[in-house]
Amino acid sequence: MRPTSIIYSTAVVLTALFLVLLPAAASGVAVAYAQNASRRAVFIPQWHPQSQFAGYYMAYEIGIYKKYGIDLEILDGGPSAPAVKALEEKKADFVTLQLSAAIERRAKGVKLINIAQISQRSAILIVAKKKSGIKEVKDLNGKHIGFWRTDFDGILRTFLHKHNLKVQTVPINYTVNLFLLDGIDAMVTMWYNEYYKIINSGLDEDELVKFLFFEHDLNLPEDGIYCLEETYNRDPALCRDFVKASIEGWIYAFAHEEQAVEAVLKYMNRAHVTANKPHQRWMLARMCDIISPQNSKSSIGDLLEPDYLRVASILSEFKVIDSIPDFKTFFINQAAKDVKK
């Protein structure tokens, strides 16, 4: 056979092979494209931008989500854009929610799951002025205590029952003014939020006494990462990678405080939320205390069953839910890992 015939025959064979493989190659490209497209995700925190969510903002800003192959869009949460509603309506793939709110929604039929319990400690505390004569928990008996008007008060009532206290609860808005003006003896606050407003209003910490719930055997973990069951079943790898990237964002935020605060301020300004840099710096430090407490028995991402049952039992006791959702179907840990400052 002449060389030209060999070349011709080889060309025919290669052409035929190419035609055979082309559909498979095209199919492979289509699958790869589909997989890439499926890596898009939408995330909404449950409140306005603030350092409570610094880890997610940092993971986005420095490209950690992209490193894990996630094309993420972060939307602003808050009263006008409830995260749980966005999740239910499938307008968001991932959200943060307080554990109590998530248990309530699950008990009422929303198939959401906790894929990472970010906070490991309750940030709730009761604060009082020492001049009021309150030095110990028992001194709260008979006092007027302010509690947020729109929130479920079972947590406070559980604290009072546990310590055999009878008090007069006073409904208040998210302001510390009544406390500052001595209109109430004490008030429930969040450690990273209203408590800071109090000490930034002219009162020194040594003038105050605070009762952190987690120090009084009432640890109620709060923020966690949630998705729908169908999202997890469809793409567990995406859920795992989102959690891992978010945790890395928290690690970075705690190690680079000023950069993290600047990123938070950027999102606050975008959402037209009043920004206070010292407050956001304080909040970030408290988030570290809450997310990665020293000597904790659990790691970031973990939800201990006793903590879960404690929160769920309070909701059940006060008839917020009819039954307690099964822990094993509610919580699927995707990445437990310590975050140290």
pLDDT at 153: 86
Smallest CA-to-CA distance from 127 within 175, 65, 191, 74 is with 191
Write out the two tokens for 201: 């209003």
- List the Cα angle 49/55/60 in 5-degree steps: 85
**92 backbone φψ class: left, alpha, beta (φ>0; ψ -120 to 50):** beta
DSSP assigned state of 324: P
Instruction: Tell me the C-alpha distance between 75 and 83, whole Å.
Output: 9
Radius of gyration from C-alpha coordinates of the chain: 26
Say yes or no: do domains 40-121+221-330 and 124-216 share a fold: yes
Distances (CA, A) of 192 to 17, 38, 50, 273: 66, 36, 10, 17
Give 40-121+221-330's CATH code, choosing from 3.40.1280.10, 3.30.930.10, 3.40.190.10, 3.30.420.130. 3.40.190.10
* Helices of type H across 117-256: 154-162, 177-180, 194-199, 229-234, 236-255
Q: For residue range 184-227, list pLDDT tens digits in order.
A: 999 999 999 999 999 999 899 999 999 999 999 898 999 999 99
Q: How confident is the model at residue 325 (pLDDT cuts 50, 70, 90)?
A: very high
Closest listed residue to residue 72, CA positions, set 239, 316, 296: 239
CATH superfamily of 124-216: Periplasmic binding protein-like II (3.40.190.10)
Please tell me the predicted confidence (pLDDT) of residue 173: 85
What are the residue ranges spanned by the domains of the chain? Answer: 40-121+221-330, 124-216
Alpha-carbon distance 101 to 315, whole Å?
10
Tell me the per-residue pLDDT of 165-183, one tens digit each, with 9 for 90 and over: 999 999 998 789 999 999 9
- Whole-number pLDDT of residue 23: 41
Separation of alpha carbons 296 and 214, rounded Å: 12
pTM as predicted: 0.85
Q: Give the Cα separation of 207 and 227 in Å (integer).
A: 43
Evaluate whether 333 touches 303 at the Cβ level (below 8 Å): yes
Please tell me the distance from the alpha carbon of residue 44 to that of residue 48, in angstroms, as a whole number.
10
